Structure 1
Amino acid sequence: MIEADGGTAENPAGNPLPGNENRKRGRRLSKILSDIALDVERSRVSVADLFTAMGDRAFGALLLIFALPNVVPTPPGTSAITGAPLVFLAAQLMLGQSPWLPKIIANRSMAREDFAAIVLRISPWLARGERMLRPRLTFLVYPPVEYVTGLLCLILAIILALPVPLGNILPAVAICLFSFGILERDGLCILFGLLTFVLSLVVVAGVLFAIVKGFILLVSATFF
Structure 2
Amino acid sequence: MPDAPPTETRDDPASGERRRRRFSEVLRDLAAADRERIAIADILAAFGDRAFGALMLVFAAPNALPTPPGTSSVLGAPLLFITFQLMIGRSVLWLPRLITNRSVARADFARLVDRMAPWLEKAERLLRPRLTLLIGPVADRFIGAACLLLAVILFLPIPLGNMVPALAIAAFAVGLIERDGVAVSVGWAATAAAAGILVAISAALWAALRAFLQTLLGVTI
TM-score (norm 2): 0.77
8 A contact 2:167–2:190 mirrored in 1: yes
Question: What code does the residue aligned with 2:59 have?
Answer: F
8 A contact 2:31–2:110 mirrored in 1: yes
Distance in 2 (CA, whole Å) between partners of 1:158 and 1:189 is 22
User: What are the within-5 Å matches in structure 2 for residues 21-170 of structure 1?
Assistant: 26-39=20-33, 41-42=35-36, 44-72=37-65, 79=72, 81-97=74-90, 98-170=92-164
8 A contact 2:174–2:180 mirrored in 1: yes
Match of 2:11 in 1: none
Distance in 2 (CA, whole Å) between partners of 1:115 and 1:34 is 10
Could you say what the CA RMSD is over the residues aligned between the two structures, in angstroms?
2.9
Inter-CA distance 39–25: structure 2 relative to 1 (3 Å threshold): same
Inter-CA distance 119–125: structure 2 relative to 1 (3 Å threshold): same
| Structure 1 residue 205, shift from structure 2 partner | 3.0
Question: What code does the residue aligned with 2:57 have?
Answer: L
The secondary structure found in structure 1 opposite 2:104 is strand
Distance in 2 (CA, whole Å) between partners of 1:34 and 1:165 is 33
Distance in 2 (CA, whole Å) between partners of 1:124 and 1:192 is 21
Unaligned runs of 5+ in 2: 6-17
Question: What code does the residue aligned with 1:161 have?
Answer: F
Match of 2:188 in 1: 194
The secondary structure found in structure 2 opposite 1:54 is helix
Q: Deviations over 1:160-216 (max 9, x none)?
A: 132221111111111111111111111122111111100011123333444555567
Match of 1:182 in 2: 176
Inter-CA distance 77–127: structure 2 relative to 1 (3 Å threshold): farther
Q: Alignment length, in residue pairs? A: 202
| Structure 1 residue 94, shift from structure 2 partner | 0.7
Unaligned runs of 5+ in 1: 1-9, 12-23
Distance in 1 (CA, whole Å) between partners of 2:172 and 2:146 is 9
The secondary structure found in structure 1 opposite 2:78 is helix
The secondary structure found in structure 1 opposite 2:48 is coil
Distance in 2 (CA, whole Å) between partners of 1:56 and 1:29 is 12
Q: Which moved more, 1:112-121 or 1:100-109?
A: 112-121
| Structure 1 residue 30, shift from structure 2 partner | 0.9
- % identical equivalent positions: 46
Distance in 1 (CA, whole Å) between partners of 2:115 and 2:106 is 14
Distance in 2 (CA, whole Å) between partners of 1:71 and 1:218 is 33
The secondary structure found in structure 1 opposite 2:103 is strand
Question: What code does the residue aligned with 1:64 have?
Answer: L
The secondary structure found in structure 1 opposite 2:38 is strand
8 A contact 1:165–1:207 mirrored in 2: no
